[in-house]
Amino acid sequence: MPTLGAIADDFTGATDLATMLVARGFRTVVAVGADAVAPSAQPEVQEAPDLPDRWAAADAVVVALKSRTAPVVEAVAESRRALRALRAIGCRRFYFKYCSTFDSTPRGNIGPVADALLAETGERRTVVVPSFPATGRTVYRGRLFVHDDLLDESPMRHHPLTPMLDSRVDRLLRPQTDHPVTRIGLETVRAGVARLRAALDDDTHADALTVVDAVDDEDLRTVAAATEDFGLVTGAAGLAVGLTGPHPDQARARPASGPRDPGVVLAGSASAATRAQVTHALGRLPHRRLDLTRLRADFDTAVADLTAFVRDRWAHDPARPPLIYAVAAPEDVETDTPAGAEPASTLVERALAACAGTLVDAGARRLLVAGGETSGAVVSALRARTLAIGAPIAPGVAWARAEVCPSDTNHTVDLALKSGNFGGTDIFTQAWEQLV
């Protein structure tokens, strides 16, 4: 029965945290939305008497939401619903997972969701820990770094939805929350678990969201140990490095596909890391770029041509998964939508989602998807309700086994959801080797 319940504000973030939990010995299931956990999770629901096997065999459940940039009211309502659903299947500790680059705006959604989850759990305080050293995110003196750059000097400064214009986590959070926002520095963390705990227990932090410095995994282990009885922690996936689950040797789900099963890469992300991965794959995998003009002129035919191309490549060389991508270079990003036309963002998401559905019905059994929004669109089109996390591919990215039903037939597939900025340059060609 799961005891740890997590709520992630996007799909790739959910698999990122789940990947870490599996590595830490938690048998982990990602549930797509609160309804995939407990359809009628009302406030009064406390315990489900007959847990489905899926939950009985899990140590942790991560609910994947699409709430990062949703209207605040919606994000709060979905997060509350997720928490109630997790509680109904037995979870007693909660983890609010947001982006390691603290993606949010002065209105939210990190602060409002943290406030709501504190109220829902009856807790008065929590910690704020976006640090994830394995992916270059560290917090020192309250400032968030992305590798060598301060957050506001990193490419996140230009993010279209959540431009990050400050690197001080407390300053970013203060306008978003009703709680005081406090800080605890690295010297206290490095003084050890007891000193950090004593600091957290000081009156200053009694009702606060406390941003805690962490520069390496040992710091995160100290933070996790000092907060082990907190009913709610918040952060990126890094904090989970300090958690220990009960099944160190059996936590990974087995792959669903074999080496000769057809695969495909669907890349809708325009992030710098994905662009480098696309460029690397162009010389190595059969590929097609989405043509926005054609998609706008005749969506169905354009998608049918793309899926026909993939099927043709499978017939020639099943071992090389074709790549369908949106952006290889910054100039591929459409910044101005032509008058009266559908914006490129939804067009690309719809196109890749449609390709995914058709290709799974045509035999695709392994899909690597790049981009958080893109992953949300693909997972929704495939009508996956749960993902069982399997082999890791890179920090924050793993294969997951999913039952899907894009039209009217069920299939089991291996799915990897890659955050835009995660993964090495060769991930589109190398990820398949982990599926053994």
Ligand X SMILES: Nc1ncnc2c1ncn2[C@@H]1O[C@H](COP(=O)(O)OP(=O)(O)OP(=O)(O)O)[C@@H](O)[C@H]1O
Ligand Y SMILES: O=C(O)[C@@H](O)C(=O)CO
Interacting residue ranges for ligand X, rule: CB under 6 A: 12, 268-271, 274, 326-327, 332-334, 344-345, 348-349, 371-374, 419-421
- Minimum CB–partner distance for residue 327 and ligand X (Å): 5
| Three-class DSSP category at 31 | strand
The crossing angle, in degrees rounded to 10, of helices 72-88 and 110-121 is 30
| Whether the bond into 109 is cis, omega within 30 of 0 | yes
Pick one of ligand Y, ligand X, none as the site partner of residue 33 (Cβ within 5 to 8 A by kind): none
Pick one of ligand X, ligand Y, none as the site partner of residue 16 (Cβ within 5 to 8 A by kind): ligand Y
Q: Which residue is nearest to ligand Y (CB)?
A: 13
- Minimum CB–partner distance for residue 12 and ligand Y (Å): 5
CA pseudo-torsion sign 130, 133, 136, 138: positive
Residue 90 near residue 1 (C-beta atoms within 8 A): yes
* Nearby residues of 132 by Cβ (< 8 Å), 6 or more positions away: 100, 236, 237, 238, 395, 396
CA atoms within 13 A on the CB side of 108: 20
- Minimum CB–partner distance for residue 344 and ligand X (Å): 3
Pick one of ligand Y, ligand X, none as the site partner of residue 327 (Cβ within 5 to 8 A by kind): ligand X
* Residue nearer to ligand Y on the CB measure, 310 or 398: 398
* Residue nearer to ligand X on the CB measure, 126 or 345: 345
* Residue nearer to ligand X on the CB measure, 154 or 345: 345
Q: How many CB atoms lie within 10 A of CB 103?
A: 22
- Of 375, 393, 384, the closest CA to residue 413 belongs to 384
* Residue nearer to ligand Y on the CB measure, 55 or 428: 428
Q: Name the one range near ligand Y by CB under 6 A: 57-65, 93-101, 354-362, 380-388.
A: 93-101
Pick one of ligand X, ligand Y, none as the site partner of residue 396 (Cβ within 5 to 8 A by kind): ligand Y
Q: Name the one range near ligand Y by CB under 6 A: 6-14, 164-172, 190-198, 265-273.
A: 6-14
**Helix H segments across 36-109?**
53-56, 72-88
CA atoms within 13 A on the CB side of 3: 8
Pick one of ligand X, ligand Y, none as the site partner of residue 358 (Cβ within 5 to 8 A by kind): none
* 162-171 LR contacts (CB < 8 Å, sep 24+): 162/68, 162/69, 162/103, 162/104, 162/105, 164/101, 164/102, 164/103, 167/143, 168/142, 168/143, 168/144, 169/102, 169/128, 169/130, 169/139, 169/142, 169/143, 169/144, 169/211, 170/142, 170/211
* Nearby residues of 49 by Cβ (< 8 Å), 6 or more positions away: none
- Minimum CB–partner distance for residue 349 and ligand Y (Å): 15
99 binds ligand Y (CB under 6 A): yes
* Residue nearer to ligand X on the CB measure, 96 or 230: 96
* Residue nearer to ligand X on the CB measure, 193 or 282: 282
Q: List C-alpha distances in Å: 49 to 56, 89, 239, 245.
A: 11, 9, 32, 24
Rule CB under 6 A: which of 230-259 touch ligand Y?
Answer: 236-237
- Minimum CB–partner distance for residue 96 and ligand Y (Å): 12
C-alpha to C-alpha distance for 187 and 181, rounded to whole angstroms: 19
Location of structure tokens 């499978």? 314
| Three-class DSSP category at 86 | helix
Annotate 279-326 with three-state secondary structure.
HHHHCCCCEEECCHHHHHHCHHHHHHHHHHHHHHHHHHCCCCCCEEEC
Q: What does DSSP say about strands 386-394 and 60-64: parallel, antiparallel, or unpaired?
A: unpaired
- Minimum CB–partner distance for residue 148 and ligand Y (Å): 17
Pick one of ligand X, ligand Y, none as the site partner of residue 349 (Cβ within 5 to 8 A by kind): ligand X
* Residue nearer to ligand Y on the CB measure, 68 or 183: 68
Query: Residues binding ligand Y: what is the number (CB under 6 A)?
Result: 12
* Residue nearer to ligand Y on the CB measure, 100 or 210: 100
| Three-class DSSP category at 92 | coil
Rule CB under 6 A: which of 367-426 touch ligand Y?
Answer: 372, 396, 419
* Residue nearer to ligand X on the CB measure, 9 or 213: 9
Pick one of ligand X, ligand Y, none as the site partner of residue 236 (Cβ within 5 to 8 A by kind): ligand Y
Pick one of ligand Y, ligand X, none as the site partner of residue 270 (Cβ within 5 to 8 A by kind): ligand X
Rule CB under 6 A: which of 281-340 touch ligand Y?
Answer: none
* Residue nearer to ligand Y on the CB measure, 390 or 396: 396
Q: Which of 19, 69, 79, 100 binds ligand Y (CB under 6 A)?
A: 100
Query: For 133, phi and psi rounded to 5 degrees?
Result: -55, -35
* Residue nearer to ligand Y on the CB measure, 20 or 83: 20
- Minimum CB–partner distance for residue 43 and ligand Y (Å): 28
Please give the residue ranges that form the binding site for ligand Y (CB under 6 A): 10, 12-13, 16, 99-101, 236-237, 372, 396, 419
